[in-house]
Amino acid sequence: MSRTTPDLSHHHRFVPPAGGPERAPLLLLHGTGGDENDLLALGAAVRPGAALLSPRGRVLENGMPRFFRRLAEGVFDEADVIARAGELARFVEAARAAYGLAAPVAVGFSNGANIAAALLMLEPGLLAGAALIRPMVPLAAPPAFRLSGRPVLILSGAGDPIVPAENAACLAALLEGGGAGVRHEILPVGHGLSQMDLSLARDWLDAEAP
């Protein structure tokens, strides 16, 4: 059973844990045009029984929710990235207090993966780890950050028309340089989600995430 609680800063869905072994909750972060419902099935598939926290991005682009503004395809409004990452971090902290949650592992797709990467750089104590599906570098010159071995999975698409291969490799290097334990996989897919993403994310969560 899930519930919607609009009192916190972001509209969101929360699915309580279903019992069984205690596992870190998932913070589900949708792509452009998605909402708080989009990744619930994915979250349940990759970490059965875990609590799921799924906020909706607060920026609208032609009516489509996003987590931060962009100036063009692949060109981010970096001041907005920083501001929105701060807002999202405060939401996560408030939701943890409201629902009694441990630090979550982010699972983000596309725009959601980009804001998750920004959280790792700007709020390095917030997340227990992150699975980033089709991410890009969110900030050209991020501040120094230390992730102290935090596990991070990056899933890129070899045929992705949106994310250049060198950009994804640069993100992996940035996070690794900040101390994360990075695993970067390049899959024979495009930008969309695939069954391979689900399988790899599930196996990685089982092996690496708290």
Of the candidates 10, 54, 156, 160, the residue annotated as catalytic is 160
H/E stretch holding 86 reads: helix 78-99
Pairing of strands 151-157, 181-187: parallel
A 10 A CB-CB count for 59 gives 16
11 is catalytic: no
Query: How far apart, in Å, do the first and last CA atoms of the chain sit?
Result: 23
Residues 6 or more apart from 74 whose CB is under 8 A from it? 136, 162, 163
Q: Is 150 exposed, middle or buried (0-12, 13-18, 19+ CB in 10 A)?
A: buried
- Annotated catalytic, 194? no
Under 8 Å between Cβ of 29 and 53: no
> Residue 189 gets which letter from DSSP?
S
CA–CA gap between residue 77 and residue 154 (Å, rounded): 22
Q: Which of helix, strand or coil describes residue 133?
A: strand
- Among candidate residues 191, 199, 203, 206, the one labeled active-site is 191
Alpha helices, DSSP H, located in the chain: 40-46, 78-99, 111-122, 165-177, 195-208
Catalytically annotated residue among 12, 38, 54, 110: 110
Show the tokens assigned to 65.
């929710």
Does residue 184 have an active-site annotation? no
Q: Which residues are catalytic?
A: 110, 160, 191
